[in-house]
A and B are shown apart, each in its own frame.
Chain A
Amino acid sequence: MIRIEGLSKSYGDLPVLRNCSLEVGRGEVVVICGPSGSGKSTFVKCMNGIEPVQAGRITIDGEVLPSKPAAAARIRSRVGMVFQHFELYPHLTVMENICLAQIHVLKRGRGEAEAKARALLRRVGLADKESAYPTQLSGGQQQRIAIVRALAMDPIAMLFDEPTSALDPEMIGEVLAVMLELAREGMTMIVVTHEMGFAKAAAGRIVFMDHGEIVEVAETQHFFAQPSSERARLFLSRILAH
């Protein structure tokens, strides 16, 4: 489904990703974790080409992602993305946010787009918010709507970049619940997160990154039971101590 080969990227002299490779199959849920500054966020943003890379190849559903960001638009529209800070468009209502790319990228009619949006809003329990503006909603509500916005494009896979780390603790649960349900339905998901509970419950494999490198890829149970690398062990002991 998604194949990443030899991805490298640097900002000037500063390398942020070094020769990262990963293959994710259909219906698989992969969690990427690691200390902050390990490059995991950049890695997931490179997967649909919104961050340009210096070397490496990304294949999505058999198609190689073009290196020019603008040229990759069509493939990108098939991969949903959820951001740390939601990135709902503040000048548009919830409904308009969800319909924008459906209408302008997928060329759906307004009626079809709105019907799709309503169905999805009902599923995440926000049917009554369609005419609200993002700033009128809580963080948890905004993030659930951002997920709906991505799902409305009928994506073949979903990328999540720390979807709960900007949320107040009491709102994390409602977002994770939606993600968990998606995982159960068989959505292909790549999730950057520190929520180890979610990882244990949903992920098939864990990718551990540090200093721009993929240090370890392991089955979820193996990773938590006995990680093979020292760095992952250290990371886990710190994060699970909380």
Chain B
Amino acid sequence: MNYAWNWSVLFQAPYLGWLGQGIAMTMMVSIAAWIIALTLGTLIGILHSGASGALRLVTGCYINVFRNVPLLLQMFLWFFVVPELLPKAAGTWLKRDLPHPEVVTAIVALGLFTASRVAVQVAAGIAAVPRGQSMAAYASGLSTLQRYKLVLLPQAFRIVVPPMTSEFLTIFKNSSIALSIGVYELTAQTQQIQSFTYQGFEAFTAATVTYMTIALIVTALMTVIERRIAIAGPLARG
């Protein structure tokens, strides 16, 4: 292999600054999108787990549409197509007056996409609570709302923490797709360093190490959280 390594590139201006900005952007987009995904996804997951026919259908449609179209295309749809389909004034506002339209679009697209995945996990978590628990709650006269709030959700929550950890990790990885609509997150910045300096591998290494560090920190954090909630209420693991 014929390659002149030059790690000092990473510590020169402006490249060090680009990397820093990239990391900050990746964090910002991922965490903002996660807030949307967690809120909306939990709501949709709960509604989807209920028995009501119409609601089940609507939430099922949401889940299927958002899971079965590539995220890259969803970003394009929100960024290029939706402004065209809206009434003229709204479309113009989105294209011209909205500050940082590519960042906002990336957050919304990533959030709505991840919400569908969160919803699936939440619904599965609720379904995993044994049926007898629901019956016991019914039998003691709890209302549907109370049954969810006091009996089903606290148990589903514990079931759902591990898959949620992996969804949270996935959102950092998926945020890289925002580069396709011009968001300068970490991967885009390293790609830019590559095309400016031709020292691509140093930049890619830096990005790889950063993503792995994020993964390690999130996993460690979630292990702590899992242990906390396990102490608060030991659940027999089936």
Contacts and interface: CB of A to CB of B under 8 A. Distances in A.
Given A70-B144, A90-B155, A90-B235, A85 B132 contact: yes
B198 interface: no
Interface of B: 130, 132-133, 135-136, 138-144, 146, 150-151, 154-155, 158, 233-236
Contacts of B133: 87, 89
Interface in A82-105: 83, 85, 87-92, 100-101, 104-105
Contacts of A90: 155, 233-236
A49 B138 CA distance: 9
A40 interface: no
Contact of A135 (B151, B155, B236): B236
A100 B135 contact: no
Contact of A91 (B135, B141, B235): B235
> 5 closest Cβ contacts across the A-B interface?
A77-B141, A101-B140, A87-B136, A81-B139, A91-B233
B139 A133 contact: no
Interface in A147-170: 149-150, 153
A88 B155 CA distance: 12
A104 B130 CA distance: 22
Q: Is the interface of B mostly helix, strand, loop or mixed?
A: helix
On chain A, which size bracket covers the interface? 20 to 34
Nearest to A48: B139
Given A89-B151, A90-B155, A100-B150, A50 B138 contact: yes
Given A83-B136, A87-B132, A100-B150, A73 B235 contact: no
A105 B137 CA distance: 10
A108 to B, nearest CB: 13
Nearest to A146: B136
Contacts of B236: 90, 135
A26 interface: no
Contacts of B155: 89-91
Contacts of A149: 140
B179 to A, nearest CB: 42
A138 interface: no
Contacts of A100: 140, 142, 150-151
Nearest to B146: A104
B234 A77 contact: no
B136 A91 contact: no
Given A105-B142, A153-B141, 13 more contacts: A50-B139, A70-B144, A76-B141, A81-B136, A83-B132, A83-B135, A87-B133, A89-B155, A100-B151, A105-B140, A105-B146, A135-B234, A150-B139
A105 B138 contact: no
Given A74-B141, A104-B142, A104-B146, A87 B135 contact: yes
Nearest to B151: A89
A57 B180 CA distance: 63
A149 B133 CA distance: 14
Interface in A35-77: 45, 48-50, 69-70, 73-77
A50 B130 CA distance: 15
A161 to B, nearest CB: 9
A105 B141 contact: yes
25 contacts: A45-B135, A50-B138, A69-B138, A70-B144, A74-B141, A75-B141, A77-B140, A81-B140, A83-B136, A87-B130, A87-B136, A89-B133, A90-B155, A91-B154, A91-B155, A91-B233, A91-B235, A92-B233, A100-B140, A101-B142, A105-B142, A105-B146, A133-B234, A135-B234, A153-B140
